[in-house]
Chain A
């Protein structure tokens, strides 16, 4: 049982890290393929200015798939975003069918065309920090995401982004 528990924990960690690699590399479809059909994604933050919890981006699997497929039609800041993520905690439900995890992340932006490429391109800047609060389903097919809350600590987002975090 303990061996199985450890195996699931490693699978959860592996899934989170795989999602980071796909997000880093803009493999949007591969990223979403890590998710169950009822997946929900949201970027949220608490605003001490308006004393309220806010959602900055959110949607189900189909919405996120559509949103990422439409990206080529939009003008965007193409400066790459790369994550440093550490899984802090994995909790597996007693029945072994679901799990949750908390990870801390830092996203760096390496400037490309965001401001003045001649001057800025190549410089890496802190883009945002926060946590991933993830939920998973576990079945015979392995582990899949059912929910991801990107809980941002950074609230000054300047130009923002078109990309999921």
Chain B
């Protein structure tokens, strides 16, 4: 058989259950909304880094599952998170991406979060401290104690990332949630304070999972001349791809030969603490987070789904807070060479997922998206994606390969063999 007709094209591939997914999971509006409700509202999300909130009263704003969120550093230097929503009329309290409440605003006084609409004010612990013309309007029926902000679960963990969860009832700490997936980089990131030096965002017309897939599988290194010329050797092909509880994976390290790319240089002189020279670790966390440490620079991708066919990806680059100006510039150069918006690799990855997104419309003829490579759980094995979709199916109770059917844990675990890998690495 060469080219296939509709029936052949739509038939299940000659792979085991769990080794392909239905492309509908990348385009269906109902599935997208279910993901926001059942996954993103219940997962720990690293919304920013503590270096973005250096001083008391500093704040950052963001969105999780369409909910506006504000993270503030209090006078006590504690970082807290709240819904960025005024309890009075539901207005967004702070519209700026970042700033410091030490300064007053046109409607409010210094050191307060003030809703500009009716000048209600809140302190850095979310307590309402002022209702304009309170007694005249509410008499003794409602007071400031009744209308505090909605506080959210918040932890600073793993090299200073600020993690927020919308679910009050989550029983896991971030450490529990990570389930060991972050351990390979923890010594490098926890040794001394880090600092964000790069931020940019991309809004891409594709489903967020397509970006996460790209981060989870390295088989696509055929896309990148840089990775082929600096990487393809025995040590590269031996890198292990390991699954962890809760849908996380990581990819083991090897020594990258940066000098093999004309004009690029070794990163040996500026390795992160405890990281062997020019080594490269990657961690992909469920449902849409990536940590990527290449020798001298750390990258973090955070995916915010905006629709079934639209994702915002925020890219951060981090170095050590103790960097000299010269060291920082070198880290920035290393980071930008492949990961900046003008870098060699990032642009290639983004045009690839954009092209995938172009092929996955809600009414498109069914595509079976394959993830069936088995290479002893090494770099070009697609066990990372299988592991992710195993978790995804569990959270939504949908089969990734037939989303109208319920998730059958035993069937997928048996066929993909990934359960053994999780247990081994947990």
A contact set with B: CB distance below 8 Å: 43, 45, 47-52, 54-59, 62-63, 66-67, 69-70, 73-77, 114-116, 155-165
CB distance from B268 to the nearest CB of A (A): 19
Report which of B97, B98, B332, B350 forms a contact with A160, defined as CB distance below 8 A. Answer: B350
CA A164 to CA B343, docked complex, whole Å = 11
Stretch at the interface among B114-122, B196-204, B404-412: B196-204
Report which of B97, B205, B340, B343 forms a contact with A49, defined as CB distance below 8 A. Answer: B97
CA A114 to CA B348, docked complex, whole Å = 11
Are A155 and B200 interface neighbours, CB within 8 A? yes
CA A161 to CA B96, docked complex, whole Å = 28
Are B358 and A77 interface neighbours, CB within 8 A? no
Ordered by A's residue number, 20 sampled pairs between the chains whose C-beta atoms are within 8 Å are A47-B199, A47-B200, A48-B98, A49-B199, A51-B52, A54-B197, A54-B198, A56-B342, A58-B332, A58-B336, A59-B333, A63-B263, A70-B225, A114-B354, A155-B201, A157-B201, A159-B347, A159-B354, A160-B340, A160-B346
CA A66 to CA B263, docked complex, whole Å = 6
Are A162 and B196 interface neighbours, CB within 8 A? no
Q: Known contacts being A74-B225, A158-B204, is A55 close to B350, with CB within 8 Å?
A: no
Q: Known contacts being A49-B60, A49-B97, is A160 close to B342, with CB within 8 Å?
A: yes
A-B interface contact total, Cβ < 8 Å: 116
Report which of A48, A52, A56, A66 forms a contact with B341, defined as CB distance below 8 A. Answer: A56
Count class of interface residues, chain B = 35 or more
Are B263 and A67 interface neighbours, CB within 8 A? yes
- Of B226, B262, B344, which is in contact with the most chain A CB atoms at under 10 Å from its CB? B344
CA A51 to CA B348, docked complex, whole Å = 28
- Residues on A with beta carbons closer than 8 Å to the beta carbon of B16: none
* B241-263 at interface with A (beta carbon < 8 Å): 261-263
Extra 20 A-B pairs, beta carbons < 8 Å, given A49-B60, A158-B204, A160-B346: A48-B96, A49-B97, A49-B98, A52-B196, A54-B199, A55-B329, A56-B198, A57-B336, A57-B342, A63-B263, A66-B263, A70-B225, A73-B225, A74-B225, A76-B351, A157-B200, A159-B204, A159-B351, A160-B350, A163-B342
Q: Known contacts being A63-B263, A77-B347, is A55 close to B342, with CB within 8 Å?
A: no
CB distance from A104 to the nearest CB of B (A): 20
CB distance from A130 to the nearest CB of B (A): 13
- Whether, in the assembled complex, B426 has its beta carbon less than 8 Å from a beta carbon of chain A, the answer is no
CA A75 to CA B347, docked complex, whole Å = 9
CA A164 to CA B340, docked complex, whole Å = 13
Are B351 and A56 interface neighbours, CB within 8 A? no
- Residues on A with beta carbons closer than 8 Å to the beta carbon of B340: 56-57, 160
- Whether, in the assembled complex, B142 has its beta carbon less than 8 Å from a beta carbon of chain A, the answer is no
- Residues on B with beta carbons closer than 8 Å to the beta carbon of A159: 202, 204, 347, 350-351, 354
- Residues on A with beta carbons closer than 8 Å to the beta carbon of B262: 66, 69-70
CB distance from B338 to the nearest CB of A (A): 11
- Residues on A with beta carbons closer than 8 Å to the beta carbon of B333: 58-59
- Residues on A with beta carbons closer than 8 Å to the beta carbon of B347: 74, 76-77, 159-162
Report which of B52, B196, B198, B350 forms a contact with A158, defined as CB distance below 8 A. Answer: B350
Report which of B200, B201, B316 forms a contact with A56, defined as CB distance below 8 A. Answer: B200
Interface of A is mostly: loop
CA A164 to CA B347, docked complex, whole Å = 13
- Residues on A with beta carbons closer than 8 Å to the beta carbon of B204: 158-159
B contact set with A: CB distance below 8 Å: 51-52, 60, 96-98, 196-205, 223, 225-226, 261-263, 316, 329, 332-333, 336, 340-344, 346-348, 350-352, 354-355, 358
- Of A59, A70, A158, which is in contact with the most chain B CB atoms at under 10 Å from its CB? A158
CB distance from A61 to the nearest CB of B (A): 12
CA A161 to CA B225, docked complex, whole Å = 16
Q: Known contacts being A50-B52, A50-B98, A50-B196, is A160 close to B202, with CB within 8 Å?
A: yes
Are A75 and B223 interface neighbours, CB within 8 A? yes
- Residues on B with beta carbons closer than 8 Å to the beta carbon of A54: 197-200, 332
Considering only CB atoms, which chain B residue lies closest to A155 in the complex? B200
Q: Known contacts being A50-B98, A161-B347, is A115 close to B200, with CB within 8 Å?
A: no
CA A75 to CA B346, docked complex, whole Å = 11
CB distance from B350 to the nearest CB of A (A): 4
- Residues on B with beta carbons closer than 8 Å to the beta carbon of A160: 202, 340-343, 346-347, 350
Q: Known contacts being A76-B351, A115-B358, is A49 close to B52, with CB within 8 Å?
A: yes
Considering only CB atoms, which chain A residue lies closest to B226 in the complex? A74
CB distance from A58 to the nearest CB of B (A): 7
- Residues on B with beta carbons closer than 8 Å to the beta carbon of A58: 332-333, 336
Are A158 and B344 interface neighbours, CB within 8 A? no
- Residues on B with beta carbons closer than 8 Å to the beta carbon of A157: 200-202, 341
Q: Known contacts being A63-B263, A155-B201, is A162 close to B344, with CB within 8 Å?
A: yes
Would you list the 10 A-B pairs with minimal beta carbon distance, nearest first?
A66-B263, A160-B341, A57-B342, A157-B341, A73-B225, A116-B358, A159-B350, A50-B199, A49-B97, A160-B347
CA A1 to CA B415, docked complex, whole Å = 84
Considering only CB atoms, which chain A residue lies closest to B359 in the complex? A116
- Residues on B with beta carbons closer than 8 Å to the beta carbon of A161: 341-342, 347
- Residues on A with beta carbons closer than 8 Å to the beta carbon of B223: 75
CA A153 to CA B381, docked complex, whole Å = 42
